[in-house]
């Protein structure tokens, strides 16, 4: 027996690295960092006719033979998380902390429904394992947070139960899907969790400035940082729209100044969480405008939003129908400070086409 343990210790060191293998008098503790390494441990144990068992983070039958464990598999190193906002998925290893996942999710601007998990364990793997009652999946949280599981079986196979990502999966469906595999003990190797967008509000922002020439300077920052959140961006000369200017002057003091009246304004629609507005406002009124005063206002109340949105809805049609204007359309990534803005009367960003329409006079 001692010779077997000595031999497999060297094999485990080759697989996991010496710091991740600890030997005792009658057993070995192995600390893998991936499902593949767990599978490798099981394969080595089977080859040596030794028994390997994981410490925690297991699902399957709750009754199994009690006996000698030659290799204890500790998953303490398996604590990594990865976010994919496009698919709405968090891929977590079982020892990843719940607080770690919740905090990281908030930093991505999304939310994790598992924040309200009825199990109060420290790691996501412990909470998932707790959802299996007598070997049967039993999900009772208000909102399903789980898509699927990566499981390592005792014979070294790695299987995926459920899906890596799925839309609108409820707890009933989850219980049915994960109930399809329950005949033997399995180790949690990966956990696929739901990532949800934070509930957002739509805001209309009005930035006033003295000269329409200033707009190209801010465009690269708008696209780089906020393209996903932006719904509309238009820039107009206020003299061409006296009715709109008159209405907005009731909300915006700058439009009533006599000595330095604002000659242009930018209307921006953005969908975001209220807490995300502050950095966006700083961008609109930041260093790019040091050479010329500007101010940004949030359209408040239903009436102000209606005025702006109605104007925006009709603007492109009116601009194209105006015989005074000629139009140039360019790709949004090409709109920069090199654009000739001398005769520009309006700028209209068309998000779906990834185009910026420039309306010149004459």
pLDDT value at 293 more than 70: no
Higher-pLDDT residue of 12 and 129 is 12
- Higher local confidence (pLDDT), 167 or 351: 351
Within 260-300, residue ranges assigned H as helices are: 277-284
| Count of beta carbons in the 10 Å neighbourhood of residue 230 | 18
Q: Positive or negative CA dihedral for 329, 332, 338, 341?
A: positive
Q: Please report how many Cα atoms fall inside a 13 Å half-sphere around the Cα of residue 345, on the Cβ side.
A: 18
Q: Are 249 and 208 in contact (CB under 8 A)?
A: no
pTM above 0.85, yes or no: no
Answer whether residue 360 shows pLDDT above 50: yes
279-288 burial, b for 16+ CB within 10 Å, e for fewer?
ebbebbeeeb
Give per-residue pLDDT as tens, 201-214.
Answer: 889 999 888 777 76
Q: What is the pLDDT of residue 314?
A: 92
Q: Is residue 110 within 8 Å of residue 198, measured between CB atoms?
A: yes
Provide the mean pLDDT of the chain. 82
pLDDT at 273 over 80: no
Find the range with the poorest average confidence among 37-46, 211-220, 244-253.
Answer: 211-220
- The residue that leads in pLDDT, 162 or 316, is 316
What number is the average pLDDT over the span 273-278?
A: 75
Residue 21, classed as helix, strand or coil, is: strand
Q: Which of 167-171, 215-219, 317-321 has the lowest mean pLDDT?
A: 167-171
Q: How many Cβ atoms sit within 10 Å of the Cβ of residue 262?
A: 23
The pLDDT tens digits for 78-113 are 999 998 877 788 999 999 999 999 888 877 778 788
**Residues facing 194 on adjacent strands:** 89
> Percent of the chain scored above 90 by pLDDT?
31
Q: What is the pLDDT of residue 55?
A: 79
Q: What percent of the chain has pLDDT over 70?
A: 81
- Domains annotated for the chain, with CATH where assigned, are 2-73 (3.30.43.10), 81-197 (3.30.465.10), 201-361 (3.30.70.2190)
Per-residue model confidence (pLDDT) at position 335 = 65
CB 254 within 8 Å of CB 168:
no
Whether the pLDDT of residue 23 is over 70: the answer is yes
Report pLDDT for 260.
59
Cβ partners under 8 Å of residue 182, min gap 6: 59, 60, 61, 135, 136, 137
């Amino acid at each position: 027996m001692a010779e077997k343990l000595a031999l497999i210790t060297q094999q485990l060191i080759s697989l996991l690295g010496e710091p991740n293998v600890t030997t005792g008098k009658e057993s070995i503790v192995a600390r893998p960092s991936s499902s593949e390494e767990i599978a490798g441990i099981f394969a080595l144990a089977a080859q040596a006719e030794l028994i390997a068992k994981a410490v925690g983070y297991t699902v399957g039958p709750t009754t199994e033979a009690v006996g000698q464990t030659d290799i204890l598999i500790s998953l303490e190193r398996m604590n990594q998380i990865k976010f994919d906002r496009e698919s709405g998925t968090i891929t977590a290893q079982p020892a990843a902390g719940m607080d770690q996942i919740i905090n990281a999710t908030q930093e991505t601007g999304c939310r994790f429904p598992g924040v309200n998990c009825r199990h109060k364990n420290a790691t996501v793997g412990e909470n998932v394992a707790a959802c299996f009652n007598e070997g049967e999946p039993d999900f009772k949280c208000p909102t399903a947070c789980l898509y699927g599981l990566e499981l390592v079986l005792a014979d070294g196979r790695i299987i995926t139960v459920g899906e890596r990502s799925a839309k609108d999966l409820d707890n009933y469906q989850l219980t049915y899907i994960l109930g399809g595999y329950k005949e033997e003990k399995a180790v949690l190797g990966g956990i696929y969790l739901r990532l949800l967008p934070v509930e957002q509000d739509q805001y209309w922002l009005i930035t006033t400035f003295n000269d329409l020439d200033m707009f190209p300077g801010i465009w690269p920052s708008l696209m780089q940082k906020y393209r996903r959140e932006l719904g509309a961006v238009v820039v107009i000369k206020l003299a061409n729209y006296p009715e709109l200017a008159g209405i907005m002057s009731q909300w915006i003091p700058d439009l009533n100044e006599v000595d330095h009246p604002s000659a242009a304004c930018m209307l921006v629609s953005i969908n975001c969480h209220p807490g995300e507005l502050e950095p966006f406002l700083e961008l609109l009124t930041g260093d790019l405008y040091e050479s010329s005063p500007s101010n940004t206002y949030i359209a408040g109340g239903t009436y102000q939003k209606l005025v702006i949105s109605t104007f925006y809805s009709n603007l492109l049609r009116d601009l194209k129908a105006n015989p005074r204007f000629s139009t140039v359309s360019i790709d949004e990534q090409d709109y920069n400070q090199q654009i000739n803005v001398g005769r520009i009367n309006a700028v209209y960003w068309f998000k779906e086409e990834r185009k910026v329409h420039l309306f010149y006079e004459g």
